[in-house]
Chain A
Amino acid sequence: MDGRTREYLEGRFGDYYRSTDVPLPPAPGEREWGVIPWSAGGTRMHRHQSLLDLGDLSDYLARSAPRHVYFSSARFADPGAASMDDKDWREADLVFDIDADHLPGIDPETTGYADMLDAGKEALLDLLDLLEDDFDFEEMQAVFSGGRGYHVHVRDESVRGLDSEARREIVDYIRAIDLDFDALIETRQHGTTTQRVLRTEGGWGRRTHRRLLEFVDALLEMEEDAALSRLKELDGIGDGRAKTILGAFRNNPDAVREGNVEAGGPGVRTLVEALAHETVEDETSPIDEPVTTDTKRLIRLPKSLHGGSGLVVEPLDRDEIDDFDPLSDAVPDRFRGRDIAVKVTDPGEVEFDGDSFTLDSGVQSVDESLGVFLMTRGRAEKVTE
């Protein structure tokens, strides 16, 4: 990035911060803060700063207009100390990171930015479903990262003291790593008889059970032939087993509702196993493990600007997420409605602000929001008007 572009962006970031209220996270004084300024290549992080060092945050951001702004998920006794030992760790928010770069089936080389963000949003919704339904966390904040993904900050008191190892357990649950599929079905004693029962009370057993019930409901709606061939689509289920399973579901639909999988014979086990794998494939969320297990990490500050996209690190209300489109909803209004001159150095396809178009190379006049987007992503440079 050339000097003129850098200076321009720094100035405009400053304008953004002067016109925007950036809210502080809880306990801001106990957190470590870090910034990467525009100057000098813009890769060196100034960290180990406390709010005391920075002064009033809004004021600081308006004055210094950094390229990136971070704060620690952790709370410390002395956040400004230079070493972690001296900082004296107290507790840390539980943070999840969904990075579209690392999503399964996504190749950052060939997948468009908008498609990556879509895939990230799917992963975010799966994550939130687990955090709400299974973990029942209450103080949760979902945030568009400003780059290629999403963050979720969990601040429930009951998890803030957890160490890395405990946090890894949460990651493994969310990704269903090391899930023992066989143990989803238990043998339970009822008086003198035993019964094989799907663990319906919670966890991946409960999720599998829900899917099983949907499957059974759909099956019972079908004609006999259709139902049987649906069952036979599964590996290991032939004519005989399909009939036994269907018969059991028809004769005693309540049994399966209670998780009892004894009646349908060995075929039901096969069915449950297939559904369990489907459940895991569908409902896990591919969160980035090290971000969650590292209790001393710095995370982007919500409402700050991402220096590599010019987009707002946008906090999202739960009901906004479905319709949220980062490439228009996270564009800072401050930069809209004014044309600026830029020289496009990397022409080609662009998706931005609900539009998708081809960009020619050379000097041209574009809306400032697009100009900032292109410049921060290294695809254009500022030229004099």
Chain B
Amino acid sequence: MRMRPLHARYPFFAAAREAVESADVAIATLVAEDAPAVERGVERVERALMEGTVEPDPDEAYGWDTQTELLSYPISRIIVSLVETPAAVDKYARAEADTAYERMLADFDAGDDDVHGEARANLDDFLREFDLDGAVRAESNRNRNSRRAPDHYWVDVGPYLTYSDTDWGADWRLVNRSLADGAVRVTREELSELLREAVRRRVAEGLPFAVRGSDAGDRLADALKPHVERLRNLLSDRGAVNVVYVDSVDPDHFPPCVEALLARAQDGETLPNEAAFALAAFLVGVGLEPEAVGGVVGDANAEELQKRATVLADSSGSQYAPPTCETMQAYDLCVNRDDRCDTIKHPMKYFETATNDADATAADEVAD
């Protein structure tokens, strides 16, 4: 089976997997040779975990070809399995689904005469892919002559309940829905959201899987080890710190490394990936709301960092804790060390002790 642009766009489609399986390329070989698909696979996971998307970095000068793009998907699944943190799988599947959702919306809106037609999927392709072609019907438009896509669809109640989530809000609750003749009325946007969830489940299915355990698997894992370790480091220093709760965040108590990053951001520099992550994770870690993060980092970085902060903020626990001093040093981000730095191993700890000391001093002053 030929690798089609459509497969690269939606690599979780069954046909895409078949194309990969029938292709004359072995994943093991690609990994051994550190082929471009590996680099793209790593990027996929990294962007998923840090930024909630698997779109290629738009700042990269060149694009990925169809084959690389498609083959990166199975590789990213291997990598995410090797990272071995449950939050990573969850986050990765969400990012794949969110990206697919964006692409899907663009595709559904594109007209027939679109030049990228071959790469685009239509609604029927998606419904067929998830076995929903018999379960979803368009509501006939009141205006029969309208060539517009229908505003509403009817989804059979079984699939509706399977793919919707009550956490999405009261208006997704079945009790608040128009249910008639075994089907639930949804808007076009809502139908896309159900499909996004179907994608998320398809991606998450079978993840993480055991890569090691066979000779071939071990070789694969060993070859990917540097990438996996870098991702793990980026992600967390597990169990290191939790969010520090303080009444108010005083930037005077930020460690020198963070002050430096903040200054670079405010100067309008576009921070490289690790630096942007470290800064956003720190600011979220000290309890800043994502909106507030956008406010302190300067206009040039506001949007980018706020987006990152949002992704970080809704991942609970310490999985996405800011990097330790060790990691910061590894990325050359540990700068302007001061005395307090000798007493701590984590920038968050720096902030915590600096804040506490200041409070203690303030209390002393009052007591006097």
Contacts and interface: CB of A to CB of B under 8 A. Distances in A.
5 tightest Cβ-Cβ pairs between the two chains A and B: A136-B182, A202-B180, A158-B158, A202-B178, A166-B161
Of A165, A176, A201, most buried by chain B (CB within 10 Å of CB) is: A201
A173 B175 CA distance: 4
B179 A135 contact: yes
A166 B184 CA distance: 14
Nearest to A172: B175
A170 B182 CA distance: 12
B178 A162 contact: no
Nearest to B156: A158
Interface stretch (B11-19, B165-173, B250-258, B355-363): B165-173
B159 A204 contact: no
A206 B161 contact: no
Contacts of B176: 178-180, 183, 203-204
Contacts of B174: 169-170, 172-173
Contact of B161 (A157, A162, A202): A162
Given A170-B161, A183-B171, A202 B177 contact: yes
B40 interface: no
Nearest to B177: A203
Interface string A188-203: 0000000000010111
Interface of B: 135, 156-159, 161-162, 166, 170-171, 173-185
A159 B157 CA distance: 8
Interface residues of A, number: 30
Contacts of B161: 159, 162, 166, 169-170
Given A165-B166, A178-B170, A201 B158 contact: no
A89 interface: no
B166 A206 contact: no
A158 B358 CA distance: 62
A329 interface: no
A60 interface: no
A162 B182 contact: no
Contact of A158 (B157, B171, B179): B157
A383 interface: no
A257 to B, nearest CB: 16
A165 B168 CA distance: 14
A155 to B, nearest CB: 12
B160 to A, nearest CB: 9
A261 B183 CA distance: 25
B175 A178 contact: yes
Contacts of A288: none
A179 B175 contact: yes
